[in-house]
Amino acid sequence: MSKIKNFENLNTYEKSKNIIKFFDELTEKKEFKIFINNIENVIKLEKKEILFFFNKIFINNFDYNKNNFKKKISYLNIVKYFFIFNGLLLLKVFFKKKIYISKNIIILLKQIDNNEQLCSYKKIINHFGKKKILIFKDSKFKCDYITTKYNYILNSIIPLKDILKLLKSSILIFNLSKIIKINLFYFSLKLIFENYFYNYIFNNSNIKGILSHKHYSTSNIANFYINNNSGKSFVIQKNINTANSNGFFISADCLFSLSKNSKIENELTFSKIKNYEYTGSFFMQNLNKEKKAQDVDLKYDILYLAGNGLKPKLYYDTYKSYANDYLLHLDWLKKISSQFENLKVGFKHHSNNNDIFEENILKGSRVKIIDKNINSYHLVEQSNFICSWASTMILESIALKKHSYFLNPGLRNIQFLKGIKNFKEISISNYEQLLTIYEDAKENNFIKNNLNEDYCVKKNNISNEIINSIYKYADIK
């Protein structure tokens, strides 16, 4: 599969819709239907679930920056993947590593990266009991809970009869891949290992609920098997949803959304979200935790909240004007900091950021680079005017009665803001507008009398809301 023509002039969402349309046309080919039927007959997963899964794989393998598909799904790799396919399946005959799950476990907490994230779940864990929660870790860190690392290939349990059937099908998959010019082995491997992993997990445990905060990596296969065992999946919306690859084909029984205006729409994203609960920001609920010494008295007139991997030529550089727009909005910070001598402008990165691209752009200006380890919520709480290219904290800080806006040159940042209703109302499209809005806020002493919950509702105890919803939807006594 090669470069797609005429994609350069499309915005990110238009590209995504065209990729999905392209795949839909591919699935109508008789060769692809033969492939699907062959896989379905072996793994016994419903055809609609297989197609949903393959849609997600397909769009995730498109490079929006280069406007072509990644080499993994190129039919030029089918010989290589023929041997990988058969080799991995043969290894599964001899190497099987089961994940043991106690019958006491009723909640699976997925994709936790560190203790800071885990801290936000503490009240939920304590409610159900430490011995009833299993944590799937995405990285190595120590904690006092029941945890395990997991790997779809290593921990999938495939019956020998199915392995033999799949091995037998490899010649068919090879020939079909050549005809339709796409590496079907890659799709097959992703599906097979994830399918047998979750099939085993939920058929050999009493888990009734999955809870995670990474909506972009939900699994419809996990949902299928937990639903078959009277369980439900729950996802916390931690971030703004994007209009590129990982913002589509999201699957959950219940999404805990920031608000109605910010929720992930099924129709817009081709997703399968069955229920919504509007809980606001789960991670902002820890705003009032004990402040560290360096977090105190750091008030800025204008606070800019940065994001990881946003510089040009990387993953998010997905439309023609992206690079120029991104550099332009940083120039606004330099310009306003020099235009007003006593204006204190701060630039704050994520604590896990290791790129100094923006710092180099801002070097020599009056914009101060803030220690990335300082708590961002505490900075927001103390500062007057909050802005960002794409930070979810813009929505969260609106709920804190802050003057908060996306710096969005020409209103072209559809990639991050398409899914937010009325995003233009909280966007600044040019430098003159930035000056006007800032001056108006300053005249009112940066005071907002009315609470705006359109973009992020404000709840006092979000953990309790989530606990109650788990009982509401899942079969947990």
**Beta carbons within 8 Å of 446's beta carbon, 6+ residues apart:** 384, 385, 403
Q: Is 245 exposed, middle or buried (0-12, 13-18, 19+ CB in 10 A)?
A: buried
Is the pLDDT at 294 greater than 90, yes or no? no
Residue with tokens 């729409």: 265
**pLDDT the model gives residue 293:** 47
242/248 Cα distance (integer angstroms): 8
pLDDT band at 313 (very low <50, low <70, confident <90, very high): very high
| Intrachain domains 100-149+206-280+459-477 and 287-443 with the same fold | yes
Continuous H helices in 302-430: 322-339, 357-362, 376-382, 393-398, 414-417
**pLDDT the model gives residue 295:** 56
Beta sheet of 385-388, edge-to-edge order: 368-370, 345-348, 302-305, 385-388, 403-407, 427-428
Give yes or no for a contact between 381 and 396, defined as CB atoms under 8 angstroms apart: no
For 232-246, how does the pLDDT look when each residue is reduced to its tens digit (9 = 90+)? Answer: 999 999 999 999 989
For 172-222, how does the pLDDT look when each residue is reduced to its tens digit (9 = 90+)? Answer: 999 999 999 999 999 999 999 999 999 999 999 999 999 999 999 999 999
Going from N- to C-terminal start, the domains of the chain cover 1-95+151-202, 100-149+206-280+459-477, 287-443
DSSP string, 345-364: EEEE--TT----HHHHHHTT
Q: Look at 31-45, 74-88, 102-116, 302-316 and tell me which has the smallest mean pLDDT.
A: 102-116
Average pLDDT, the chain: 93
**pLDDT the model gives residue 139:** 75
106/121 Cα distance (integer angstroms): 15
Is the pLDDT at 297 greater than 80, yes or no? no
Domain 100-149+206-280+459-477 class? alpha beta
**pLDDT the model gives residue 321:** 95
Domain 287-443 grouped into CATH 3.40.50.2000: yes
For 115-147, how does the pLDDT look when each residue is reduced to its tens digit (9 = 90+)? Answer: 888 888 999 999 999 999 999 987 777 888 888
Alpha-carbon radius of gyration of the chain: 24
301/12 Cα distance (integer angstroms): 33
226/206 Cα distance (integer angstroms): 10
Q: Which whole number is the average pLDDT over 5-12? A: 84
Q: Which amino acid is at 59?
A: I
Is pTM beyond 0.75? Reply is yes
**Beta carbons within 8 Å of 270's beta carbon, 6+ residues apart:** 20, 55, 248, 249
466/449 Cα distance (integer angstroms): 29
**pLDDT the model gives residue 291:** 54
